[in-house]
Chains A and B, each alone.
Chain A
Amino acid sequence: EVQLVESGGGLVQPGRSLKLSCLASGFTFSNYGMNWIRQAPGKGLEWVASISSSSSYIYYADTVKGRFTISRDNAKNTLYLQMTSLRSEDTALYYCARHDVGSYGFDYWGQGVMVTVSS
């Protein structure tokens, strides 16, 4: 069974940093591209970043470029999101999701981890 489990969220002050993790199981992690998507309270979905299977290709939303870094460790089956210079508008539920090779269908999602940026 495919599982994606996020961790590392919490309450953090503006300007500080936080690192999210997404532990994958039930599939060959190194064969799939991965993504972070966030959802502010009561709002819609916002794509944050994507990374290819071998980390050769990385893309960011303009709203996080220069502040967030997506990475992965295929030996540990883990996806990361390093978040720095956090702002109140980064407050959201952060999901990791796998995308299918070829179709880019985001076919499996984690349960999400909450990040609250507040003083």
Chain B
Amino acid sequence: DIVMTQGVLPNPVPSGESASITCRSSKSLVYKDGKTYLNWFLQRPGQSPQLLTYWMSTRASGVSDRFSGSGSGTYFTLKISRVRAEDAGVYYCQQVREYPRTFGSGTKLEIK
């Protein structure tokens, strides 16, 4: 199984600053089509997860351009620019390169 390992944020992050969340996979998530099968989600307190990006860097419909995904085949970063109170919650990365699908353990973002 592909293991997803997420980093920890130095919380809280001051409002208006940037935050970068890291995620590492135990195997390359690049498929033979050249795309990287990595999703990012935000789960706000008491809510269902919300898809932020797919294919590592493509923003989902309606997602602010303050969110940007980047990375290589095994190391990924979700950058949040000019953080706001509404960005608080737990961020998860997920690989959809192969089954079983696996999530990272989550990274909590608190806003000051």
Which A residues are closer than 8 A to B by beta carbons?
35, 37, 44-47, 50, 59-62, 95, 97, 99-100, 103-107, 109-112
Partner of A104, one of B39, B41, B50: B39
Bound complex: CA of A61 vs CA of B51, how far in Å? Answer: 21
Q: Is the CB of B48 within 8 A of A44?
A: no
Nearest A residue to B98, CB-CB: A59
CB-based contact A104/B92 at 8 Å: no
- A44 and B39 within 8 A (CB): no
Interface of B is mostly: loop
B48 to chain A, nearest CB (A): 4
Decide: B105 and A44 in contact? CB cutoff 8 A: yes
Q: Are A109 and B106 in touch, CB under 8 angstroms?
A: no
Q: Is the CB of A106 within 8 A of B48?
A: no
B101 in contact with A112 (CB, 8 Å): no
Number of interface residues of B (CB under 8 A): 27
**Interchain nearest-CB distance for B99 vs A (Å):** 4
The closest CB in chain A to the CB of B40 belongs to A105
- Inter-chain CA distance A51–B96, complex, in Å, is 14
Residue of B41, B61, B96, B104 most packed against chain A (CB within 10 A):
B96
In the complex, the 8 A-B pairs of residues with the closest C-beta atoms, listed nearest first: A105-B54, A104-B96, A47-B101, A109-B48, A59-B99, A103-B54, A45-B103, A44-B106
Chain B hits for A104, CB < 8 A:
37, 39, 54, 96
Asked if B9 CB lies within 8 Å of chain A CBs, one says no
A105 engages B39 (CB within 8 Å): yes
Offer 19 A-B interface pairs, CB within 8 angstroms, sorted by A: A37-B49, A46-B103, A47-B100, A47-B102, A50-B101, A59-B99, A60-B100, A99-B96, A103-B54, A103-B55, A104-B39, A105-B55, A105-B96, A106-B41, A106-B94, A107-B61, A109-B48, A109-B50, A111-B48
